[in-house]
Amino acid sequence: MTMIQKFLTRIKPVKAPCAADIAGESSLALRINALSVKYGDYQALRNASLVAYPNQILALVGPSGCGKSSLLSCINRMTDGVKDCHVGGEILLNGENVLADNYPVDALRKCVGMVFQQPNPFPLSIRENICFPLKDHGMKSGIEREAKLEQVLRQTGLWEETKDRLDANALQLSGGQQQRLCIARALALDPKILLLDEPCSALDPISTEKIEQLIVELKATVTVVMVTHNLSQARRIADQVAVCWVDSHSGYVVECNQTEDIFDSSSHPITQAYCMGRAG
């Protein structure tokens, strides 16, 4: 551990000014209140609060192990399937707590799509990657499914690249194309929120640039919450940034604010040090 990291771990987490405190409910896509995540006895995340605004990109940044992916996975309840994982607090979507026992998880996963670090298309054709989930969610008409297929492939810039080989196995696509197909698959269900967990970390710089452009374009239709280790990427494309940190006890959100405030004028020492590359 470097000197600066040692110094920062001794700073008591302060209640930094946070957009979550002042935003009106109707202007929000998502509000997270006092979220905590435990794996068995280990508290991975404590008391995390933040907000996401409609049609904006919120980036979660912070060092490895501070709970970014855990936080993201709670939003569409992927944590339900993790053994000994206990989630507390509130995640409000349209004013309803999605963590409530009686919240319909299928409907939640349709409304909140997720894309992971490693592209994970189904080992099926390009067409089936999009059309199977649509059928599964009740779209009976083949004509409607084909129309949706074309729409999301166009939206993700894949149509021209794949229209002549829609029945080829998706695993034959390049890594960057596979990731865009995974984003297309999530978009096909018309989500309101798209969760992206380090979507570019397995990609080369050119594929990364294409995905970044795509994410910015997607703001027209969805709210994006993304985890990234790449601070330059957060600065380039995010509207809001939540800085997360971990000390000896667990991970927590240091502050959540507009991107320029985080990078240019934050008064929090952890944000200053992390975003200037001196710690983490």
Residues within the interface to ligand ATP (CB under 6 A) = 39, 42, 44, 62, 64-70, 82, 251
Ramachandran category for residue 17: left, alpha or beta (phi over 0 → left; psi -120 to 50 → alpha):
beta
Shortest distance, position 65 Cβ to ligand ATP, whole Å: 4
Tokens for 244, please give them: 């997360």
Please name which of 253, 225, 250 lies closest in space to residue 239, comparing C-alpha atoms: 225
Distance between CA 112 and CA 122 in Å, rounded?
A: 19
- Beta carbon of residue 276, minimum distance to ligand ATP (angstroms, whole number): 19
Nearer to ligand ATP by Cβ, of 75 and 158: the residue is 75
C-beta closer to ligand ATP: residue 40 or 95: 40
Under 8 Å CB-to-CB from 133, ≥6 apart: which residues? 185, 188, 189
CB closer to ligand ATP out of 177 and 250? 250
Q: Residue 157 Cβ, how far from ligand ATP at the closest point, in Å?
A: 27
Question: Least Å distance between CB 37 and ligand ATP?
Answer: 7
Name the token pair of 26: 């109707």
Q: Could you tell me the CA-to-CA distances from 233 to 174, 186, 241 in Å, in that order? A: 22, 22, 11
**CB-nearer residue toward ligand ATP: 134 or 227:** 227
Q: How far is the CB of 114 from ligand ATP (least distance, A)?
A: 14
Least distance to ligand ATP, CB of residue 222, Å: 22
Compute the least distance from the CB of residue 118 to ligand ATP, in Å: 12
Nearest to 64 by CA among 187, 197, 246: 246
| Residue 201 vs 272, nearer CB to ligand ATP | 201
User: Letter for the amino acid at 33?
Assistant: N
Q: How far apart are CA 118 and CA 250, in angstroms?
A: 26
Looking at the Cβ atoms of 87 and 158, the one nearer to ligand ATP is 87
Sheet strands side by side (includes 193-197): 96-97, 85-93, 30-39, 42-52, 251-258, 240-246, 57-61, 223-227, 193-197, 112-115
Choice between 137 and 235, CB closer to ligand ATP: 235
Q: Which residue, 73 or 125, has its beta carbon nearer to ligand ATP?
A: 73
Q: Give the residue from 54, 58, 55, 38 showing the smallest Cα distance to 46.
A: 38
* Amino acid identity for residue 229 in this structure: H
Angle between helices 126-136 and 175-187 (to 10 degrees): 20
The least distance separating ligand ATP from the CB of residue 136, rounded to whole angstroms, comes to 26
